[in-house]
């Protein structure tokens, strides 16, 4: 139970520093990142720029590429929607 509470607190803390549009984007990105967890790789939060933070309980070397591929595919629509309304925002160049 503490683990779940800790994850929620981290997610809220990461999202609380941006504006409402960024907060919403980060909440969506966090949910997407959680669906891409695999093996021992777990998402522990999302940074203010939308980058997931992760940890592993094993080496995780083989889990990272699969996570990154999944996250890139699933987060693309979120970034597209965000960048269409906030074209000058950081991380929107090329998205």
Question: Predicted confidence band at 17 (pLDDT cuts at 50, 70, 90)?
Answer: low
Question: Predicted confidence band at 88 (pLDDT cuts at 50, 70, 90)?
Answer: confident
In a domain, 23, yes or no: yes
Number of domains comprising the chain: 1
In a domain, 90, yes or no: no
CA 52 – CA 33 distance, rounded (Å): 7
- The predicted model scores a pTM of 0.76
CA 57 – CA 27 distance, rounded (Å): 24
In a domain, 58, yes or no: yes
In a domain, 11, yes or no: yes
Percent over 70 (pLDDT), the chain: 78
In a domain, 13, yes or no: yes
In a domain, 91, yes or no: no
Show the domain range for 76. 2-82
CA 26 – CA 63 distance, rounded (Å): 22
In a domain, 67, yes or no: yes
- CA neighbor of 18 nearest in space, from 91, 95, 93, 94: 91
In a domain, 64, yes or no: yes
pLDDT per residue over 19-54, tens digit each? Answer: 899 999 999 999 999 999 998 899 999 999 999 999
pLDDT per residue over 52-70, tens digit each? Answer: 999 988 765 788 999 999 9
Question: Predicted confidence band at 9 (pLDDT cuts at 50, 70, 90)?
Answer: very low
């Amino acid at each position: 139970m503490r683990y779940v509470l800790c994850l929620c607190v981290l997610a809220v803390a990461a999202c609380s520093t941006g504006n409402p549009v960024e907060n919403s984007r980060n909440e969506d990105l966090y949910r997407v990142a959680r669906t891409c967890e695999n093996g021992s790789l777990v998402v522990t939060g999302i940074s203010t720029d939308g980058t997931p933070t992760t940890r592993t309980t094993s080496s995780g070397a083989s889990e990272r590429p699969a996570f990154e591929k999944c996250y890139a595919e699933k987060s693309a629509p979120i970034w597209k929607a965000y960048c269409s309304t906030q074209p000058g925002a950081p991380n929107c160049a090329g998205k």
